[in-house]
């Protein structure tokens, strides 16, 4: 109880600059934890949705059937399904325009899918970089608060004739709290940045693999249609 009270006193007795540093670090810590929880939940849901759609995609005989289910709201529009929707829509549009060359069909479909893929990758990676910023900058911000606090503590000794450790200790303690808060903000942010980056990269790789598989099917269908037309 007394330790908690003394810590509170140290915070409130610190110089305005050190208090400002503490407040900034606390705000950065709260922000980073909010991002950690939000991104963890988002990536978990995105992984589940990607797994479900991949299974549905490879178990649906006709791509047109899956496309109809998507547009009827029977399948959620997220991640892989959005990439599929954009690609198949462009594939159908090109065929309606009379494009029959396999290379043109695949290239046009791939171009649209790449745009959709990039958007989904950006959504997955959004705000994760903020954790790296918190993790790398918080210790230095805390160190600045500590240095300032120590300077302030020693400067206050100018009016003291007999300076002792007990005289300067409270000021130094106040200053060191800034470093502690900086580490408290930085360590979870750095760990979470690495973990969330790995999860996002794995999901992006899953999207890439899906897109490649989908394009292979599109290419095969376009080639079969072109070959059948040549026979006629």
Could you report the per-residue pLDDT of 188-199, keeping only the tens digit for each?
A: 999 999 999 999
Give the pLDDT band of residue 37 (cuts 50, 70, 90): very high
Residue 98 has pLDDT above 60, yes or no: yes
Give me the percent of the chain exceeding a pLDDT of 70: 85
Residue 59 has pLDDT above 70, yes or no: yes
pLDDT for the residue 1: 41
Cβ contact 178:69 at 8 Å: no
Residue 211 has pLDDT above 90, yes or no: yes
Residue 157 has pLDDT above 70, yes or no: no
pLDDT for the residue 4: 44
DSSP symbol at 126:
T
d(CA 56, CA 110) in angstroms, rounded, equals: 21
Give the distance, in angstroms, between the CA of residue 94 and the centroid of all CA atoms in the same chain.
35
Q: Average pLDDT in the 78-91 region?
A: 93
Residue 139 has pLDDT above 60, yes or no: yes
Q: Average pLDDT in the 96-102 region?
A: 83
pLDDT for the residue 208: 95
d(CA 94, CA 229) in angstroms, rounded, equals: 16
pLDDT for the residue 163: 54
Q: Which of 132, 136, 128, 134 is nearest to 200 (CA)?
A: 128
Residue 230 has pLDDT above 70, yes or no: no
Give the pLDDT band of residue 232 (cuts 50, 70, 90): low
């Amino acid at each position: 109880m007394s330790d908690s009270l003394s810590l509170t006193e140290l915070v409130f007795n610190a110089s305005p600059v050190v208090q400002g540093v503490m407040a900034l670090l606390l705000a950065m810590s709260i922000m980073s934890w909010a991002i950690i929880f939000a991104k963890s939940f988002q990536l978990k849901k995105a992984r589940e949705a990607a797994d479900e759609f991949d299974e549905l995609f490879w178990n649906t005989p006709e791509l047109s059937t899956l496309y109809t289910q998507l547009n009827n709201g029977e399948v959620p529009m997220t991640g892989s399904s959005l990439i599929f929707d954009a690609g198949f829509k462009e594939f159908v549009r090109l065929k309606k325009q009379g494009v029959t060359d396999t290379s043109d069909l695949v290239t046009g479909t791939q171009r649209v899918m790449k745009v959709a893929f990039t958007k989904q990758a950006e959504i997955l990676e959004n705000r994760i970089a903020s954790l790296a910023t918190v993790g790398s900058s918080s210790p230095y911000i805390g160190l600045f608060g500590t240095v300032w606090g120590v300077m302030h503590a020693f400067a206050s000794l100018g009016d003291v004739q007999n300076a002792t450790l007990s005289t300067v200790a409270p000021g130094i303690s106040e200053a060191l709290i800034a470093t502690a808060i900086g580490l408290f903000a930085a360590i979870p942010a750095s760990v979470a940045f690495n973990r969330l980056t790995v999860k996002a990269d794995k999901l992006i790789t899953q999207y890439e693999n899906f897109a490649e598989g989908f394009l292979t099917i599109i290419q095969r269908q376009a080639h079969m249609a072109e070959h059948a037309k040549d026979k006629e």
